[in-house]
Amino acid sequence: MQSLTCWVVSDGKPGMENQCIGLAEALGLTPVIKRVALRTPWRQLTPYFRIGNRFAAGPKGDPVAPPWPDILIGTGRQSIAVSLAVRQQSRGRTFTVQIQDPALSPRHFDLVVVPRHDKLRGDNVLVTRGALHRVTPAILAAAAERFAPRLAHLPHPRIAVLIGGDNGVYRLTPTIMGDVAEQLANLTRTHGAGLMVTPSRRTGADNEAILRARLSGLPAEVWDGTGENPYFGYLGLADAVVVTCDSVSMTSEACSTGKPTYVIELDGGSPKFRAFHDGLYQDGITRRFDGSLDQWQHPLLNDTREVADEVLRRLPAHRKRHGLT
Is the full-model pTM beyond 0.85? Answer: yes
- pLDDT score of 203: 96
Answer yes or no: is pLDDT of 49 > 90.
no
Answer yes or no: is pLDDT of 296 > 90.
no
Share of the chain above pLDDT 70, in %: 100
How confident is the model over 117-135, as pLDDT tens digits? 888 999 999 999 999 999 9
- pLDDT score of 44: 85
φ and ψ of 42, to 5 deg? -60, -35
Rounded Cα–Cα distance for residues 278 and 117 (Å): 10
Rounded Cα–Cα distance for residues 252 and 131 (Å): 6
Other beta carbons within 10 Å of 201:
8
Answer yes or no: is pLDDT of 50 > 80.
no
CATH topology for the 6-129+304-321 domain: Rossmann fold (3.40.50)
H-helix segments, the chain: 14-26, 42-45, 77-89, 137-147, 174-190, 205-215, 231-237, 248-255, 271-282, 303-321
**What CATH number belongs to 137-288?**
3.40.50.2000
Domain residues of the chain, as ranges?
Answer: 6-129+304-321, 137-288
Q: Of 39 and 173, which is predicted with more confidence?
A: 173
- pLDDT score of 150: 96
Fold match between domain 6-129+304-321 and domain 137-288: yes
